[in-house]
Chains A and B, each alone.
Chain A
């Protein structure tokens, strides 16, 4: 049976004096093995949540409440217990290291592999994230890859040490919709195969609705509602969630212009 992997109790984060809290009294459990979407617009606190979990809050940020990791029994080690994929793979990859080095580094450091073994694992991982010609890409630098491929590399690096939790913070938002759909399929597949817990942070409720188990909606630093994806989407409790759902546009939404009848 799946237990609680991480438990947030009244978690609050404030970045500076006299500034409104970026997260305000959040109570949320992340269940081991689940795919949980954190939905929110600008300023909702969703990226602060990712940073708080990943231990990446800037110096001077004041944190209140508790973050418990019953699934681990100890404080999480970055890279080993969780991996993070950020929005912009252009700035999360090191421009002067080869793709091979960056993906291998996590495996070497956390899995106790030699560089040689880590390189073998890195090449396997590049294959798993469906990079064409992994052996050639190992020697490439980030600038030689497209945005979608860079994001695949960032995912490979994030899962290199077999973390139990993968945090994807707007990991598909800088990509065009076609590549976005491919990356979502990739994340979904990897998480299923490896039994990882996925925290999928996005502003796009429809994108998340296609593959996650649970949804937590954030607004203005607070958790608005959380629940199984189907019940939140079919019967949202808060007006805000209902408004988010209503703002969704897909190809079935009536257009805003009057169309010329043929």
Chain B
């Protein structure tokens, strides 16, 4: 099928904690179409981040398969894996923890360009300017140390780094959860714009259903390592079928402005 970018089938992963076996992922299956955003929502410990780590090949799976861009993703190794990694990139929650705090913004962005040979050496400077502009930062930020930026600016750099290798899939693991609400809105808008312009597909992971709802075409709900419900975003939010989805819908804080 051409309209599947990523398909995950029966993925399982267990961790052992002393004598106890914990199933972090239990037969998880999902698909993402090119240019689509799949929201993945669930409480702490439901397995969301384990799934993102396996997708990024930061963690191995116990069982199951992943096809990405028509390739058996879990069978890739060495140079072929490194080369293909350009196509799937991640943005984590805490942009201070992912960067070398002493590095400049330019140094952070030049690494993926160099490692993946995205543009010729003499074009890298222009490309960095273009990436910064794309995420709404002035070109002179390339010379600033990452630690001198605000949280929102740092997350913009993290997004610029992720799109530098021209991926077809962006995994956003709680990428806006640590940001102030006013900043969060602008980052969400940036992500939606990028997707519209470049047709990047996204796996948008969060515990906050309201945020997931804002950007996702479809939503999958995780609970205890399983996907308990998947559906179009509007339908799932309007009529959640599983207990986990109902709890997530009920937990979204509502702005109470009228006397009750």
Give every chain B residue within 8 A of A248 (Cβ-Cβ): 181, 255
B137 close to chain A: CB less than 8 A: no
**With A and B bound together, what is the CA distance between A247 and B152 in angstroms?**
15
Stretch of A90-98, A117-125, A178-186 with 4 or more beta carbons under 8 angstroms from chain B: A178-186
Instruction: Identify which of residues 41-57 in chain A touch chain B, using a CB-to-CB cut-off of 8 Å.
Output: 41-42
Contacts A176-B43, A180-B251, A257-B216 hold; do A230 and B259 have CB atoms under 8 A apart?
yes
Contact yes or no, A179 B43, CB < 8 A: yes
**CB of B41 to closest CB in A, whole Å:** 9
> Min CB distance, B103 to chain A, in Å?
22
B binding-site residues for A, Cβ under 8 Å: 37, 43-45, 150-151, 180-185, 188-189, 192, 195, 207-211, 213-217, 232-234, 237, 247-259
Check B182–A177 contact: CB distance below 8 A.
no
Which residues of chain A come closer than 8 Å to B254, judged between CB atoms?
A: 206, 209-210, 250, 252
Contact A210 B233 (CB under 8 A): no
Task: State how many residues of chain A have any CB contact under 8 Å with chain B.
Answer: 39
**With contacts A41-B181, A234-B258 known, is A178 near B192, CB below 8 A?**
no
Assess the A251–B253 pair: CB atoms within 8 A. Answer: no
CB <8 Å contact, B207 and A255 = no
Contact A259 B44 (CB under 8 A): no
- B247 engages A178 (CB within 8 Å): yes
Query: B253 to A207, Cβ gap below 8 A?
Result: yes
Contact partner, B248, options A42, A177, A249, A255, Cβ 8 Å: A177
Task: Decide if B217 touches A178 in the complex (CB within 8 Å).
Answer: no
Q: A177-B251, A178-B43, A206-B255 are in contact. Are A255 and B214 (CB under 8 A)?
A: yes
Determine whether A191 belongs to the interface, using a CB cutoff of 8 Å to chain B: no
| Residues in B whose Cβ lies below 8 Å from that of A224 | none
In the bound complex, residues from chain A placing their C-beta under 8 Å from that of B252 are 177, 250-251
A228-260 contacts to B (CB < 8 Å): 229-230, 233-234, 243-245, 247-253, 255-257, 259-260
Most buried by A among B182, B211, B247: B182
A-B pairs with lowest CB-CB distance, top 5:
A176-B207, A41-B180, A206-B253, A181-B251, A207-B253
In the complex, chain A residues whose CB is within 8 Å of the CB of B217: 257, 259-260
| Chain B CB within 8 A of A262 CB | yes
Could you say which residues of chain A place their CB within 8 Å of the CB of B253? Answer: 177, 180-181, 204, 206-207, 209-210, 250
Q: Choose among B181, B195, B208 the residue that contacts A203 (Cβ–Cβ < 8 A).
A: B181
Interface contact A251-B237, CB-CB below 8 Å? yes
- Contact A42 to B151, CB < 8 A, known contacts A180-B251, A209-B257, A253-B214: yes
Which residues from A are CB-within-8-Å of B237? 251
- Partner-B contacts on A (CB < 8 A): 41-42, 146-148, 175-181, 203-207, 209-210, 229-230, 233-234, 243-245, 247-253, 255-257, 259-260, 262
- Report A-chain residues with C-beta under 8 Å of the C-beta of B189: 256
A207 to B181, alpha carbons, bound, how many Å?
Answer: 12
A57 and B44 alpha carbons, distance in the complex (Å): 32
Give bound CA distance, A255 to B217, whole Å. Answer: 10
Inter-chain contact B210/A178, CB cutoff 8 Å: no
In angstroms, Cα B217 to Cα A207, docked, is: 26
Which residues of A sit under 8 angstroms from B209, Cβ to Cβ? Answer: 177, 251
A181-B250, A260-B217 given; A230·B258 CB < 8 A: yes
Residues of B within 8 A of A176 (CB): 43-44, 207
Contact A203 B180 (CB under 8 A): yes
Given A146-B44, A244-B181, A249-B214; A178-B255 close (CB under 8 Å): no
18 A-B residue pairs with CB within 8 Å: A176-B207, A177-B208, A178-B247, A180-B251, A180-B253, A210-B256, A230-B259, A244-B181, A247-B184, A249-B210, A250-B255, A251-B210, A251-B249, A253-B214, A255-B214, A255-B215, A257-B195, A259-B217
B223 to chain A, nearest CB (A): 10
Hey, which chain A residues are within 8 Å of B183, CB to CB?
41
Cα A12 to Cα B257 with chains together (Å): 31
Judging by beta carbons under 8 Å apart, are B44 and A175 in contact?
yes
By a CB distance below 8 angstroms, the chain B residues around A255 are 213-216, 233-234
| Contact yes or no, B180 A179, CB < 8 A | no
Q: Do B233 and A259 touch (CB < 8 A)?
A: yes
Interfacial chain A residues near B44, Cβ < 8 Å: 146-148, 175-176, 179
Residue on A nearest B211 in the bound complex, by CB: A249
Chain A residues within an 8 Å CB radius of B214: 249, 253, 255-257
> Is the pair A247, B182 in contact by a Cβ cutoff of 8 Å?
yes
Which of A234, A249, A252, A257 touches B257 (beta carbons < 8 Å)? A234
| A177–B181 touching, CB < 8 Å | no
Chain A: which residue is nearest B185 at the CB level?
Answer: A247
